Every structure is written in C-alpha cells, then in structure tokens.
C-alpha cells in the first residue's frame, strides 16, 4: 500500500478542504441550530464534482479512487458532518449501486442527474423491525403485470425528504428469507409513495432523516435493480464501501474536536499556566491524536483494498469500528478539556460530541462490525 498521494489526489483534496473551510464551516453551527442544510452549498458541491466522486471519468464522474474519496470525506466532516453524510450516502452507497448493479437503461435515465447532484439519492434498508438484522426486512413487493406493488414502512432514511431517487430494499416473499429480497429504484412522486415522520435527532441535525411510506406504491418492473433474490446481497456488499465513508466521517469529526481542544488548551489559563502545560491534559491530546492517526490508516487501507477491486468486507468493518469508537473517545475528551465551555453551544465541541454519536450506530453498529470481523477472521 502506497501512503503518499499523487499531485492529482492532493489537488482534489485541497479543493475539498478549501470548500469545507470557506463554505461549510462558517454555516455549520447555523445549519445545526435550524435543522436545515445549506442547499446553495450542496449545489456548489455538485458543480465541483463531489456528487460524483466515486464514478470513473469515462462514465461521467469525478473519477476519484476510494483513497481520495476518504480524504475528501474527512475534510467535509471536519467542517460539517451533516453535509458529509449527505455526500457519503449519495456517493458510496447509491452511486456504487448504480455502478455495480444498475443496468444501462437505469444509468441512461438517472445517472446524469445524480452525478451533478441535481438529483440526490437515498438508501433505504432499515425498517422499524429490521435494523441490525437486515435480513428481516418485510416491505412487501408484489408483482402485478409490468409493476411491483410496494407496501410497508422504511425508517431512519438519511437524505429522506432531500432525495429524488431512493434505493429501497424489500421482499417478494418473507418466507424465502434473504432469497426473497429485492432492491428497487423508486422516484420521488411515485403514486402511493410518501415521506413520513421527520426525525428529531441528537446530532447531524441538518441532515434530514425520515420515514418512507409505501401504500400500494406502483414501481415499474424496469426499476428492479439486479434480480429478485439479490436484494440483501446488494445492500450488504454496498455497505462495505459505505462504511469506509462513515469511518472517514468519524475521523473528520474527531479531528475537528482534537484541533479545537488543542487550541483551547493552549489559550486557557488556569492555576497560572495554560491547560496543556498540565500532563493530564497533554496526555489526553497525545492519546487523541494517536487514535485519530491509527483510524486514518485503517480507513485508507480499506479504501485501498476497494481500489484494488477486492472486497473490503473485513477492512471496512475494522475501519468503521475503530474510527467511530475513536470519534466517541476524542469528542468526549475534547468536551472534557473545554470544561464548562465544552457543554455550551458557543463552542463547537458540543456539536462534534453529538454528531459523532451516531457513527457507532448507522451503517452497522459497532456490535455488527465485530460480527463481520469475527466471522471473517474465523473463515481463515
């Protein structure tokens, strides 16, 4: 694995960093407070190619490898973790489905608008009774002529009401277990399909999370992605790339918290010396940075494995597990170093702490990552 970056990679990452620091960071606290994403910034990100990061140039995308993608996601997450998850779901979940499982007709009809961010996409696997146990999904898809009729409710859908295109997982027959599962591309405006409850969350408040409701929703047979019986395999293989995006998101949040804590510890004077002159504080910073660096290399390694065209099942789960747990540790310590000031909204570490929390939960909890890791290591 090569650690150094090419000048092309450096240039793309610098573009992401500059945009994140100049445009995303100044409005992140306001977006968090109001619960609204800045749509102007999303448009601009589309114009700069960040809604097509993982798609090769010959297919109309920005043509980044996953290593570059991970670096960019770190930059965006440092500035605004809500914007970052919108990009992560669109790129590493939805565009990867388009690339690896959609047919030419789907691509012709939907890809161009997805690549510019004109149409944002959402990935909808979770249901009220099927979270970690994804094979329990029960959204019913019944074939009726040239349509499937969808009935059921999906929940915790990132990009919920922001999206125009939804990759929705269901089953044609629950008794068949994973062999009955299916994946559809559903367009906003499909009769019988509506947006349900808009969740009020602890963090990532500017990233919309909603229910999706299907009441005899008519989805054309042509919008089936892959074949009947392949739904869960599509979802779980796509989540491998997604977990690299979330690992990078966790690292970005952690890095922002670490930098804020380091700078605060140099400025804040107590007992007639800066906080960082106390070993108790300096050692915290040492542990924070060490874990962030370790998380980065696990994540770049997972990205590199994916770039080699290999399945990063094990590496992506290790990266997601370690990076998300690191984000908990680092944001906790960052609040601690800030003392009472870390607990009030004027200081961003309070937001970082809340934003980090979900990274050990979505795209597979830490417990699920340990299942994936242990299952894989015991195979050999």
Q: Which residues bind ligand CAA (CB under 6 A)?
A: 85, 89, 123, 125-126, 132-135, 156, 158, 178, 232-233, 236-237, 239-240, 313, 362-364, 368, 371-372
Closer by beta carbon to ligand CAA, 214 or else 362 = 362
Closer by beta carbon to ligand CAA, 94 or else 334 = 94
Identify whether the C-beta of residue 231 lies closer than 8 Å to the C-beta of residue 173: no
Q: Structure tokens of 117?
A: 């961010």
Identify whether the C-beta of residue 53 lies closer than 8 Å to the C-beta of residue 64: yes
Closer by beta carbon to ligand CAA, 84 or else 217 = 84
CB of 313 to ligand CAA, least distance (A): 5
Query: Looking at 10, 211, 363, 367, which residue is catalytic?
Result: 363
77-to-18, 90, 235 alpha-carbon distances in Å: 13, 15, 24
Burial status of residue 376 (CB atoms within 10 A of its CB: 0-12, 13-18, 19 or more): middle
CB of 373 to ligand CAA, least distance (A): 10
CB of 178 to ligand CAA, least distance (A): 4
363 is catalytic: yes
Q: List residues bridging with 150 in a β-sheet.
A: 141, 217
Q: Could you tell me if residue 35 is left (phi over 0), alpha (psi between -120 and 50 degrees) or otherwise beta?
A: left
Burial status of residue 317 (CB atoms within 10 A of its CB: 0-12, 13-18, 19 or more): buried
CB of 134 to ligand CAA, least distance (A): 4
Residues 6+ apart with CB under 8 A from 314: 372, 373, 376, 377
CB of 18 to ligand CAA, least distance (A): 26
Closer by beta carbon to ligand CAA, 223 or else 313 = 313
Residues 6+ apart with CB under 8 A from 10: none
Closer by beta carbon to ligand CAA, 89 or else 292 = 89
Query: Rounded to whole angstroms, how far apart are CA atoms 322 and 319?
Result: 5
Which positions are annotated as active-site residues?
363
């Amino acid at each position: 694995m090569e650690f150094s970056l090419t000048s092309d990679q450096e240039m793309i990452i610098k573009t992401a960093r500059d945009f994140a620091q100049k445009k995303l960071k100044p409005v992140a606290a306001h977006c968090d407070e109001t619960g609204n994403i800045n749509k102007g910034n999303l448009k601009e990100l589309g114009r700069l190619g960040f809604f097509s990061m993982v798609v090769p140039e010959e297919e109309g995308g920005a043509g980044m490898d996953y290593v570059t993608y991970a670096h960019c996601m770190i930059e965006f997450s440092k500035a605004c973790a809500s914007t970052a998850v919108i990009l992560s779901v669109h790129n590493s979940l939805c565009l990867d489905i388009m690339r690896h499982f959609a047919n030419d007709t789907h691509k012709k009809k939907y890809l161009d608008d997805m690549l510019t961010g004109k149409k944002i996409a959402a990935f909808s696997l979770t249901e009220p009774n099927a979270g970690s146990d994804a094979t329990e999904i029960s959204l019913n898809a019944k074939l009726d002529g040239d349509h499937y009729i969808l009935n059921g409710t999906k929940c915790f859908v990132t990009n919920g009401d922001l999206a125009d295109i939804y990759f929705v997982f269901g089953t044609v027959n629950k008794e068949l277990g994973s062999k009955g599962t299916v994946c559809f591309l559903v367009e906003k405006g499909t009769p019988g399909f509506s947006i349900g409850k808009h969740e009020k969350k602890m963090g990532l408040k500017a990233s919309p999370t909603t229910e999706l409701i299907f009441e005899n929703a008519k989805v054309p047979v042509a919008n089936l992605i892959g074949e009947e019986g392949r739904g869960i395999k599509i979802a779980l293989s796509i989540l491998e790339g997604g977990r690299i995006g979330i690992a990078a998101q966790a690292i970005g949040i952690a890095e922002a918290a670490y930098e804020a804590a380091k700078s605060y510890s140099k400025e804040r004077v107590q007992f007639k010396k800066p906080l960082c002159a106390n070993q108790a504080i300096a050692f915290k910073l040492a542990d924070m940075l060490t874990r962030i660096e370790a998380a980065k290399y696990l994540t770049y390694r997972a990205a590199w494995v994916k770039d080699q065209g290999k399945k990063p099942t094990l590496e992506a789960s290790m990266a997601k597990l370690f990076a998300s747990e690191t984000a908990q540790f680092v944001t906790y310590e960052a609040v601690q170093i800030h003392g009472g000031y870390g607990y009030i909204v004027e200081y961003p570490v309070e937001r970082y702490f809340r934003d980090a929390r979900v990274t050990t939960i979505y795209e597979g909890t830490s417990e699920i990552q340990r299942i994936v890791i242990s299952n894989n290591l015991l195979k050999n």
